[in-house]
Amino acid sequence: MQTLQTTSLKITDNQLWILDQQALPQQKNWLSAGNTDALVGHIHALRVRGAPLIGLSASLLLALQAEQGMSRDDLQDSLLTLRAARPTAVNLMNNLDRMQEALAAEDYVTALVREALRLVDEDRQLCDNIALAGTPLITAGSRILTHCNTGGLATAGVGTALGVITRGWQQGKVAHVWVGETRPLLQGGRLTAWELSESGIPCQLITDSMAAALMADRQVDAIWVGADRIAANGDVANKIGTYSLAVLARYHEIPFYVAAPHTTLDRHCPSGKDIPIEQRAAGEVTGVAGSFGAVQWAPENIRVHNPAFDVTPAALISGWVLDTGLITPEQVAEGIFRPQTN
Ligand code: MRU
């Protein structure tokens, strides 16, 4: 396959490599994702993470496996294993539905390679279109709060919410970004803080528990987050802690925007209650793990609740900024995300 490089994925010498998002920003380690088990392991460990990136990495691996001569039956098994790697972000399932169709083609090798590369190209374009739709909503001098990581690391392009923020800053409209650290795995504190710093965008890191006081102090003008799945009624699953920010935003009368590609939309999922929420290991909450050894601060054997995502009800969202443009609460109430029957 042709060589390819995004911020956190690359293909060289017909091999898939991923930038280890657990080691960032201290170490920039490219790890091989040479087979299904290796990639699933990286996805479980969040070395590969972010809704769009998970789907793209799985699609690229399937294309490479096809080129390497894997049989159609084995490709089918690989696809099903990859599809089950993480349950919440629907981009994985949506991308693999397209790969499934390619696998049915007579010349499935060519079809799978073409489809995987098309998905990567499309994702870049989707990010650009989201940024185009989102930046007009940013008012001059904005101080924006964001959560988790939705940048180039999580996509093939400029990112979703972070793409809007970056383009808004390039247009001179973003004065400052508040970066929520995003407990327990610190995607904000490690990844968003790194991406913004690399781009020279003025930002400050806060713990998640500081957001309310900042808003009360009138230091946040808007909140922009990404999404892992948008249900047909507009409810949004995103990184745990997103819902708290939406509640706070409503109380403090701050606009709360969700930015995502249409590949994050699940028209067949009626509401947020139907979105499967991934539960993760206790060790992520009882201490820190990562690439630097584990440090536990909680008592041994403490019981832990560790959902990776929460659901923000549509009623708390000011706008859904998709690659197709801004979707308003009125349009969502009228059913724009529901399956079209004719
Ligand atoms: O568990 P993660 O790090 O994969 O969660 C990521 C998020 O919740 C992002 O906000 C979402 O996937 C959008 S990334 C463009």
Residue 290: which pLDDT band, with cuts at 50, 70 and 90? low
Q: Is 228 a catalytic residue?
A: yes
Distance 226 CA to ligand 1 centre (A): 7
Given a cut of 70, whether residue 145 has pLDDT beyond it is yes
Catalytic residue selected from 208, 221, 228, 310: 228
ipTM: 0.99
CB distance 50 to ligand 1 below 6 Å: yes
Q: Which residues pair with 5 in a beta bridge?
A: 10
CB distance 157 to ligand 1 below 6 Å: no
Closest residue CA from atom 6 of ligand 1: 50
pLDDT tens track for 242-277:
999 999 999 999 999 999 999 999 999 999 999 999
The token pair that represents 207 in the structure block: 């713990």
Q: Is 342 annotated as ligand-binding?
A: no
- Type of residue at 232: A
Per-residue pLDDT at 42 = 98
Per-residue pLDDT at 274 = 98
pLDDT tens track for 313-322:
999 999 999 9
Distance 68 CA to ligand 1 centre (A): 31
Distance CA 248, CA 298 (A): 28
Q: What is the strand order of the sheet 174-180 is part of?
A: 203-206, 174-180, 142-146, 222-225, 256-259, 319-322, 325-327
pLDDT tens track for 92-131:
999 999 999 999 999 999 999 999 999 999 999 999 999 9
Q: Is 104 annotated as ligand-binding?
A: no
Helix (H, G, I), strand (E, B) or coil at 38: helix
Closest residue CA from atom 15 of ligand 1: 150
The token pair that represents 131 in the structure block: 């940024």
Distance 318 CA to ligand 1 centre (A): 20
The token pair that represents 286 in the structure block: 């009882």
Q: Is 86 annotated as ligand-binding?
A: yes
Residue 16: which pLDDT band, with cuts at 50, 70 and 90? very high
